[in-house]
Amino acid sequence: MLLGPALVVSAVLFTLGVAGVLLRRNAIVIFMCVELMLNAVNLTFVALAQRIGVAGHVFVFFVMAVAAAEAAVGLAIILAVFRHRESVDLRDIDLLKG
């Protein structure tokens, strides 16, 4: 019943998340936008669960668990990088160069 609108909202949120990843230089803020994208996906799953069944909810459950783990590890990495470069600006993190 609310499926269509929910999907539209989720699409918009996902796009905003992508835009945020492309727009920002601060690594932590980029991470936050990634979380935004994950949320949009969660919304999609929940919306579809009305038609497909409670498997949608179970999936969202797992996504949240993984997101939590990912957030912990990712932020730890950012901390470690910060200790080296004194900065979380993406311009300064170019060890992949070459």
Restricting to residues 37-96, name those near other proteins by CB under 8 A: 39, 42-43, 46-58, 60-62, 64-73, 75-80, 82-83, 88-91, 93-96
- Total of residues contacting other proteins (CB under 8 A): 78
Closest CA to 71 of 13, 33, 31: 31
- What is the C-alpha to C-alpha distance for residues 53 and 26, in angstroms, rounded to an integer? 39
Closest CA to 60 of 50, 20, 90: 50
Kindly state the smallest distance separating residue 79's Cβ from other proteins, in Å: 5
What is the per-residue binding string for other proteins in 3-32, x denoting contact by CB under 8 A?
Answer: xxxxxxx-xxxxxxxxxxxxxxxx-xx-xx
